[in-house]
Chains A and B, each alone.
Chain A
């Protein structure tokens, strides 16, 4: 009971402190807003982030291949993969990302030069021939772009390159099938070959027309209606999740720092003189941190949901993650503060230890798509913030097993921190 009284007193004092409130709620929200502005603007559904629509001119010079007979693609007869590529890019799936116009090469280049288009995609004449495995043929799609535009043209290039990779693998598959059939003495008629190509290209078309396809960039959809998050929400979710974890540990340390503050202003001695065990006082301090972080995390999760429509994942996963995070951050505070003598030394903790462990822990969100991505799946696990980040990612990815596993890891960290911190404080105050 006395632990709760101590915790509620600390909670009441923390919520009177503008400094504490700023770091619990203000800074994480501001950081997230900053990133939201950087990636495209915030504020209501009107100004939701959207990848800027790129005006694209497609120059399809592809002459097809004599090896590939004409085949039906979405109700139209096509005779080259360049045509297939153009059809897919003109499809509904990419309508939000790009505005496609067919053009000849000169007109397309002029449009880009005159800044009427952001990108011209020039499909070479031997595109189909190269993709269908003619050994002497190499082809290169040219991307002629406005140098001042980066995000939109790059997204379009990624999509096109993804499709080309898909075509390549499809053609390799087809080649293997034909060889295998030939070895068995089965020869396909040109109609049958056309049907096989149609099937493979249709499969490719389906792959690139769905949000869960092999592309990194996802077309927009409304997560509130059960869809996958759009690009901004994906970015903001990572940033806000990272900030929430970073500042939850900050709050844990800040809450535990009241032990040193009370030691310096004499109230801790007064608590020790009261009929209250040292263990109860320390439990109260832990509980104070625990409650503060719960309030902080729940507030930030709700803010993310309401302000950015972030889909944090199933409630059960989120609750499991929150318990782990709160326990780890509160006990981390007790542990860290047990290592320092006074509030002056504690200042160094804020400046160095929290920043280092915090940034290391959430570093995975800054290394996505870089060469360091693989390494930063494991390095952050050296600190509890890393476990928290990965547990959150597991939670929003609807991976209950990993959420439980990583939260279990956080609870182990928590237990170690709590036991060591408590033992050190008890020894100090004996």
Chain B
């Protein structure tokens, strides 16, 4: 039986009256990329804090490569590389000095340390800025170095907490590519994000968190299946919806029509094919369509379906 890279069991955490994480459990297999997706405040960072040993859970435990983070903290932590959400670097010293220091904190020494620092600088594309003070770096360069520190000691598990927040597209692309490269090298990656595109692109499995709980967990397809394969067309109209709804209901491919506060939602099999007929029907009864929004089945729709709120709310 394969050993789980990460096993999270019944984690619970309160901050005063705030129940930040509620009975969270999941497992990651070795070499898997697993995303925790959820809006800000969903409990992702708290969960990661407990997995990495930074926060002590009120209940539950975490095992990293079979080592309990509470019982065998130092052994478990040695398996782990962390990319924190905020830049956590010494800005008054150089990129190389940062990597040297953090490498030593993970037990690297001598030529092994020098080699790894050189490799990581190349991987994150900062070889030419290695000796410059970090304070002079752009936000993207700092993010890349922030990632680089976590990779130094060849960890078998990497946790990335919102690693692409607030950076330029070029640096974002570099980070996402490095995640894929790590996956190809057999590293297990736990990734938190509130960008569903990133979760969709990278993840083998995704857990959606809201209010401290995991509300859905599965592969991308399994999650999409929760809402089905239907597109959602959202329309606002000027005129009486009662006149146009019967005409739309008979269009081939329209599965469901609902209305909410003057907005109409149509669940359809193929929005591109049906939309001209929707416009024609409305025009025939003097109803003017003011706005149209098409949503293909994605994680945003899943979240909306499960919580009634948009992911970015």
Which A positions have Cβ atoms within 8 angstroms of B?
A: 2, 5-6, 9, 12-13, 16-17, 265-267, 269-277, 430
Contact = CB atoms under 8 A, between A and B. Distances in A.
B86 to A, nearest CB: 5
A275 B149 CA distance: 14
Interface stretch (B23-31, B98-106, B238-246, B291-299): B98-106
Given A13-B90, A16-B92, A5 B105 contact: yes
Given A5-B101, A275-B106, A275-B107, A13 B78 contact: no
Given A5-B105, A13-B93, A275 B88 contact: no
Given A9-B90, A270-B84, A277 B74 contact: yes
B82 interface: yes
Nearest to B51: A273
Given A13-B90, A267-B89, A272 B56 contact: no
A245 to B, nearest CB: 28
B88 A270 contact: yes
A9 B90 CA distance: 10
A275 B78 contact: yes
B101 A16 contact: no
B77 A266 contact: no
Contacts of A267: 88-90
Contacts of B92: 13, 16-17
10 contacts: A5-B101, A9-B101, A16-B93, A273-B82, A275-B73, A275-B74, A275-B77, A275-B105, A276-B74, A277-B74
Contacts of A273: 52-54, 77, 80, 82, 84
Nearest 8 CB-CB pairs, A to B? A266-B88, A275-B77, A275-B74, A270-B88, A275-B78, A274-B105, A266-B86, A5-B104
Contacts of A276: 74, 105
A275 B64 CA distance: 13
Interface string B55-95: 01000000000000000011101101010101111111100
Contacts of A277: 74
A129 to B, nearest CB: 78
A272 B53 contact: yes
A270 B82 contact: yes
Contacts of A271: 105
A383 to B, nearest CB: 32
A271 B52 CA distance: 11
Given A13-B93, A17-B92, A265-B88, 18 more contacts: A5-B101, A6-B105, A9-B93, A13-B90, A16-B93, A265-B87, A266-B88, A267-B89, A269-B54, A270-B88, A270-B102, A270-B149, A271-B105, A275-B73, A275-B77, A275-B78, A277-B74, A430-B56
B93 A274 contact: no
A7 B56 CA distance: 27
A335 B74 CA distance: 27
Contacts of A5: 101, 104-105
A272 B55 CA distance: 10
Given A12-B93, A16-B92, A275 B75 contact: yes
A281 to B, nearest CB: 10
A422 to B, nearest CB: 18
Contacts of B89: 267
B285 to A, nearest CB: 60
Nearest to B83: A270
Contacts of B88: 265-267, 269-270
A11 to B, nearest CB: 12
Interface string B97-120: 100011011110000000000000
A277 B77 CA distance: 11
A59 B238 CA distance: 120
A274 B102 contact: yes
Contacts of B75: 275
B105 A2 contact: yes
Contacts of B91: 265
Nearest to B56: A430
Contacts of A266: 84, 86-88
Contacts of B149: 270
Nearest to A266: B88
A17 B74 CA distance: 33
A415 B90 CA distance: 30
Nearest to A17: B92
Contacts of A12: 93, 97
B308 to A, nearest CB: 34
A186 B101 CA distance: 90
Nearest to B159: A273
Nearest to B79: A275
B166 to A, nearest CB: 15
A270 B88 CA distance: 7
A263 to B, nearest CB: 11
Q: Which of A2, A9, A275, A276 is the most central at the interface, judged by chain B CB atoms within 10 Å of its CB?
A: A275
Q: Which of B75, B90, B105 is the most central at the interface, judged by chain A CB atoms within 10 Å of its CB?
A: B105
Contacts of B56: 430
A273 B80 CA distance: 9
Contacts of B93: 9, 12-13, 16
A85 B54 CA distance: 81
Nearest to A269: B54
Given A16-B93, A267-B89, A269-B84, A274 B101 contact: no
